[in-house]
Every structure is written in structure tokens, then in C-alpha cells.
Structure 1
Amino acid sequence: METNKLSDVKIRAAKPQDKLYSISDGEGMFLEVSPKGGKWWRFKYRFNGKQKRLSLGTYPSTSLKVARDKRQQARELLASGVDPAQQRKTEKLATETALRNTFAGVAEEWAQNKVQSEKWTPTTEKKRRIWLDNGLMPYLGSRPISEITTAELWGVLQHTQKTSGYTANRLRGMASEIFNFAMATGRADSNPALPLQGQIAVKKEKHRLAILEPEEVGKMLRAIDGCQAAATTKAAARLAPLVFVRPGELRHAEWSEINLKRALWSIPAEKMKMRESHVVPLSRQAVAILKEIQPLTGNSGYVFEGTKPGEPISDNTLNKLLKTLGYKGKMTQHGWRAIARTLLDEVLDVRVDWIEHQLAHSVRDANGRAYNRTSHLEGRTGMMQLWADYLDKLKASK
């Protein structure tokens, strides 16, 4: 039987026809030419009395020489009683299994589990993936997770600790969860991150910057009212003190969540840090700000739409505004929560459980049961109006 009948010249000369056709190279290998001009290498053989075919790749990405090498490998398998097609499936499965058992493979499954169980918001997922991609994947991604040692993980974390002990600790915590997930799914026998708990030095974290003196708060409110900024940015900056939600919750506010007639903003659970829906009573001042901005963004999904249509203002927009107004190192957007918590309690003498509930902190009754989102709504509504009126007084008092 003649073998190696083809040449590159013959292959290039093979033009597409109306129907699929093939050109033999001998010993079961042939080139298949499609009506659209595609060229595939095939190997035809018999195994256990059955006619079978095996793909050897496409031309020219798989050259004539490489295709012949693959044919020879397949014939050697047949000579030893092994089905080449089954061998390929076995090798593919082994490769997929090996990838699933790498740190990267387990980490991806762990992340998907977090998303599917709704333990992560889209914002949280984005942040966690950035940490993973920058801090762990470059060093551990391709490693079999069962082979990673405590010493190896320690060396990886040192890269991050040089710039941020806080981030290194967060990475250690994430790694620990990933190793626990690997153990739960039968891909690791131990968690090498556990011995590193408490071993990473962290500089004492500063409290979130906030101005707590009433006179200075009034001055800051006047500065915001008089600032030159984009309409959506200024509206968000003016509303922030009145609702004192987390910055991410404010940025992602949507018109569908706000009922101006009832003066209520209902934030769905997936946007909340504690994964529980939250209700924010809106004072007259808050409603007025929203009505002012409604003609501009009312047809958009987001109340505070940014420069890109369909997206909210960036997470740095409001902090950047505070810096522009001279509050760099003195105040951050998150500081409004500390201001409200302090002045509502110490100056306005409001019930602490109402304040904590409005801050969306975990608040429980005497029996240890968590309050639902509408608990003390009437009292909190009065509190929010009292707070708005107090801020107006601070702003008016020079």
C-alpha cells in the first residue's frame, strides 16, 4: 500500500468543490476538503471490528509532517491494543481534572459558589477577583492545590505585605476559604493558610475620616451646596448626609427603588453589605433633591448616572469632590455615617437602636431575633426628618 502520497503543493492545489471530498495520504490518513475551503486531517481505522475516525487537526495549522506524526502515534496505540479515540478522551479528561484541581480551578468554583449563593454583590465580586488576580493567581494559579504548602503561601503573601499588611491579611483569609472549599470537595487534605493566621503584621488601621464638630459639619454642608460640580455629582453629595447609606449603595441607587410619593427608598438585599433589604425614609429635603435631579436622569436606570450612559458615577467621584473642597485627610464619603451615628446619639438624643437600624447594622430584639426592614419605620421616619432639619440649622448657622 502506497504511503505518504501527499505533498504541500498537492494540498494547496486542492480547491473546494460542490461537495465534501477527501484525498488519501495512505495508512488510513486523508485530507478532507469542505465546500467552503476548510481542510481537515482525518485518520480512519478499525477497532474491535468497528470503523472509526479520528481528527488529527486542520491544515495549515497542523502541517503535513505533524499530521503524519499523529498518524504514527495512533497506529502505535492500535498495535498495542488501545483505541486512539478513547485514549484522547482519557487524556482530555485527565487534563480537565488536573486544571480543576489547580488553585485557579478551585478558586473559580469557590467564587462561583459565592455568587450563586448571593453572598457576593457584583461590586464585592469585582473587588475579590481583582485581589485574587493580582495577589494569588500569578504565583499559585497553576499549582495543584493539594501540593501548596504553608511556607509557599507565606512567601506569596510577603509580596503583598511589603505594600499593605491589610491586603495581605485579606488575601490570607480568601486563600483559607479556598483551601476549605478544596477540602470540602475532596481536592485537599489540609488548609495551609490556617497556621498563618495572626502572623502578618498590620499597621493599626485609622478610623474612617469624619468631621464630628457640628460647626464644621455646617461649614462642609455650605461648601457642598456652593460647589461647582456636575449636576449628578452635586445631587449625590447633597443627598449623602441626609440618608447616610454606604457610598456604594448611594451610587447604585435606581429610580425603580424610590417612591417619591411615599418618601421611601427600598434597597434590595443584593445591594446591601449584610444581604438584607433595607428601607430608607426620605425627608422633605431628600425628596426635594431627588425631584431636582429627576428631569435629568429620570429616564435612566441610575439616579446618579455617570459620564457613561447606563452606569452610575464612579466610586471615587464623591471622595474626589471632598478633596477638591479642601477636606483631603479630614473627611471621606463614608464619614457621613459616623457623623450621623455620633450626632444623632449625642446631640439629638435619638434611640440608639433606631440609629443602628437605619445604618443597616445588625440589630436584634430582646429575644435575639433580627428586626425586619420595616421595624420602627414610623420612628425612623421621624428621626430622618429631625436629622435633615438639624443639618439645615447647622448649614444656616455661620
Structure 2
Amino acid sequence: MALTDTQIKQAKPSDKDQWLRDGQGLRLLIKPTGSKYWRLKYRFQGKQKTLALGVCPSVCLKQARQKVAGAKQLLAEDHAPSAQKRVEKYQARVSIDRSFAAVAEEWWNHQKGTWTEGHANRVWTRLRDNTFPRIGQRPIADLQPQDVIAIVRDIEDLKEILGHREKT
């Protein structure tokens, strides 16, 4: 039988973990402390799995059911919902922690030992002057190829203008 919001609110903790079932594998775990956790029980590649969907009341019944629908869609496409969740967590962390400038600096520090000092300085100057003002603070995960292409085209246009000035 499907859960209701009233049942969830009225559920009281006991001295052991309790499970309230909603259907389609969605369950609410009620801990002795009173904390309530949404869980999805599913099978993937012949193995029983459990996916954490959130904590009640931050994740309401409706949201938990939506998360179940999304997980079921992934399963239908032969993808593990737990693996997808790990990827999303990683991408969220990368997009917060890793700006283009930070990744570029890390790359440059790794590469500069293989280059002459003059070349390393030119590379850093070009990164600093041409890319950092436009995309330096953007999360690396949000960048698209067209962002880099636009910068390259602007550099080409600038070279063409400067080359034209030298000829006249």
C-alpha cells in the first residue's frame, strides 16, 4: 500500500530500525533517533542494491517518487543508478572546486619542466591574457568546445589585424 504524507509525519521511532514501504522499491527507513531516510531497493545485473535518495523532510514523498522514476529509467537503459549518482556527485564537486584557471595552472606547472623557460613563459602569458579574463573563473565542467573556439578565433582575428598593421 502506498505511503501518505500523513503516515510519514506520524511515524514514530522505536528501539530498532523500521521500514515503511511505498511501492516500486521505495522505502522509508526510520532510525531509533527519529531520523528518516529514503531508500530505493532494486536489482542490477542480478544483484540486490540499495540507493540512498535523501533525508526526510528535506526530500518529500513526491520528490522521492520522482527520484525512483529517474532511477527506474536508468535501470531500463541498463545503467546503475548508484554509479550515476557517484558521477553526478563528482561532477558537482569538480564544477565547484575546479575553475578553468585552476586546471590550466595545474597543467602548466606539470608541463613547464618539459619546456624551455621562454616557451613556458609565453604559454602562461597567453593563458593569462587571452583565456583567463573570459573563462578563467568558470567551472571546467561547464565549458563547451565553442567557448574555446571563440577565444581561438578572437586571437586569430587579432593576429590578422596586427599583421595587417605591420604590412602598411
Task: Say whether the fold is shared (TM-score over 0.5).
Answer: yes
- Structure 2 residue 103 is matched with structure 1 residue 73: no
Residues 185/74 of structure 1: CA separation in 2 closer, same or farther (3 Å cut): farther
Distance 2:63 2:110 in 1: 40
Deviations 1:315-345 (A, max 9, x none): xxxxxxxxxxxxxxxxxxxxxxxxxxxxxxx
- Structure 2 residue 95 is matched with structure 1 residue 98: yes
Residues 192/9 of structure 1: CA separation in 2 closer, same or farther (3 Å cut): same
Distance 1:31 1:25 in 2: 8
Aligned to 2:50, the other structure's residue is in SS state strand
- Give 1:92 deviation, angstroms: 1.8
Distance 1:12 1:100 in 2: 37
1:14 aligns to what? 11
Deviations 1:340-397 (A, max 9, x none): xxxxxxxxxxxxxxxxxxxxxxxxxxxxxxxxxxxxxxxxxxxxxxxxxxxxxxxxxx
- Structure 2 residue 98 is matched with structure 1 residue 184: no
Distance 1:79 1:180 in 2: 41
- Give 1:93 deviation, angstroms: 2.0
Q: Which runs of 5+ in 2 are unaligned?
A: 112-122, 131-168
* Counterpart AA for 2:94: T
TM-score, normalising length from structure 1?
0.28
Residues 180/59 of structure 1: CA separation in 2 closer, same or farther (3 Å cut): closer
Residues 100/17 of structure 1: CA separation in 2 closer, same or farther (3 Å cut): same
- Give 1:81 deviation, angstroms: 0.4
- Give 1:91 deviation, angstroms: 1.9
TM-score, normalising length from structure 2?
0.62
What's the % identity of the aligned pairs? 38
Distance 2:110 2:88 in 1: 22
- Structure 2 residue 123 is matched with structure 1 residue 193: no
Distance 2:105 2:9 in 1: 55
Aligned to 1:9, the other structure's residue is in SS state helix
Distance 2:76 2:58 in 1: 28
- Structure 2 residue 52 is matched with structure 1 residue 52: no
Aligned to 2:84, the other structure's residue is in SS state helix
Distance 2:105 2:69 in 1: 45
Would you say how many aligned residue pairs link Structure 1 and Structure 2? Answer: 118
Aligned to 1:15, the other structure's residue is in SS state coil
- Give 1:84 deviation, angstroms: 0.2
- Give 1:99 deviation, angstroms: 3.4
Residues 103/39 of structure 1: CA separation in 2 closer, same or farther (3 Å cut): same
The structure whose residues are more often helix, as a share, is: 2
* Counterpart AA for 2:26: M
* Counterpart AA for 1:62: V
Aligned-residue CA RMSD (Å): 2.3
Residues 19/103 of structure 1: CA separation in 2 closer, same or farther (3 Å cut): same
Aligned to 1:69, the other structure's residue is in SS state helix
* Counterpart AA for 1:183: W
Largest Rg, 1 or 2: 1
Residues 31/8 of structure 1: CA separation in 2 closer, same or farther (3 Å cut): same
Query: Of the candidates 82, 86, 89, which is equivalent to residue 89 of structure 1?
Result: 86
- Give 1:61 deviation, angstroms: 0.7
